[in-house]
Amino acid sequence: MLTNKTIAFIGGGNMAQALLKGLLDFGVVANKIKICEPNSQKQSQLSQQYGVTVSANSAAVVTGADVVLLAVKPGIVPLVLQEIASLLDKETLVISIAAGVSMAAMAQNLSSGQPIVRVMPNTPALIGAGVSVIFAKQDLPKPKLELARQIMSAVGDVDEVVDEGLLDGVTALSGSGPAYIYMVAEALSDGGVSCGLPRPLADKLAVKTLIGAARLIDESGEHPAVLKNQVTSPGGTTIAAVAQLERSGLRSALIDGVNAAWQRSVELSKK
Ligand SMILES: NC(=O)c1ccc[n+]([C@@H]2O[C@H](COP(=O)([O-])OP(=O)(O)OC[C@H]3O[C@@H](n4cnc5c(N)ncnc54)[C@H](OP(=O)(O)O)[C@@H]3O)[C@@H](O)[C@H]2O)c1
């Protein structure tokens, strides 16, 4: 189903390229994908690197597309929709990955009945390890929802919420989350260097530890607290670190970080 659909991206930046690469790796052929991107440097990079058609003209890109994927900054979404609304077939599925642009705000700028889906992905989609959460109205035809699922499944795990308001929490946790983990990786490596490890070794140990621990949570199905207890022997080194991390507020720092992102997402949704 997915491989015979034509997909038009509006915006060819970071997230669009993560999704694009995932779709090509999945088996969607390059001549089924078109991208509208105004930046001439990005235009050449996109066509050279991925072999897809790139244009600055949105009409040339969206006309005849089965799916239009909006991958521009949230503030530009209404302008883009006003520009393309009359060019879309009534069956064209519009997927937006823009944070904080509500379904109602999009519908205002589209023909009535245009199928719309909101998705919050994250950048590990670039290596097929993303996680996306979909929101669609209950009256969206099932094949359209399935198509959105297939597109996002090409680049990682997919979940769905039935309450649009939850997308702000998703943005705060998994959408913005990779940045938090990069900070953790950097800090762990700094910790290793402060203990005398050479930087390349510390960098490697930090990232491999994060990957290994994350895979163990995922694949064992155990709660993280159980796995933590398994590595904290009485009077040992790990419990000494755990106690210090609690005193330094590691958990509350992460909870507060996610909460700050959530508040910002809610604020943007109201604009
Ligand atoms: N990055 C993430 O981790 C992430 C995660 C989840 C969701 N998102 C969402 O994904 C969307 C894109 O984010 P991003 O990080 O990929 O941003 P980005 O790298 O800045 O990409 C946006 C692209 O759109 C182009 N553009 C600007 N105006 C346009 C127009 N009128 N028509 C077509 N293209 C236009 C920009 O070109 P110029 O560079 O010339 O302006 C840029 O190449 C955002 O709405 C964001 O909320 C991002």
Q: Where are the domains of the chain?
A: 2-164, 177-270
* 116, 94 Cβ separation under 8 angstroms: yes
pLDDT < 70: residue spans in the chain: none
pLDDT tens figures, 118-145:
999 999 988 889 999 999 999 999 999 9
Instruction: Return the CATH number of 2-164, one of 3.40.50.300, 3.10.180.10, 3.30.1360.200, 3.40.50.720.
Output: 3.40.50.720
From CA 239, how far away is CA 255, in angstroms rounded? 21
* 27, 133 Cβ separation under 8 angstroms: no
177-270, CATH topology level: ProC C-terminal domain-like fold (1.10.3730)
| Mutate-to-test residue for ligand 1 from 35, 62, 73, 94, highest number of ligand atoms within 8 A of CB | 73
CA atoms within 13 A on the CB side of 73: 2
Triad 128, 132, 134: Cα angle to 5°:
140
| Mutate-to-test residue for ligand 1 from 14, 17, 55, 84, highest number of ligand atoms within 8 A of CB | 14
Closest CA to 175 of 100, 102, 123, 116: 123
From CA 42, how far away is CA 194, in angstroms rounded? 40
Ligand 1 touching residue 73 (CB < 6 A)? yes
pLDDT tens figures, 211-257:
999 999 999 999 999 999 999 999 999 999 999 999 999 999 999 99
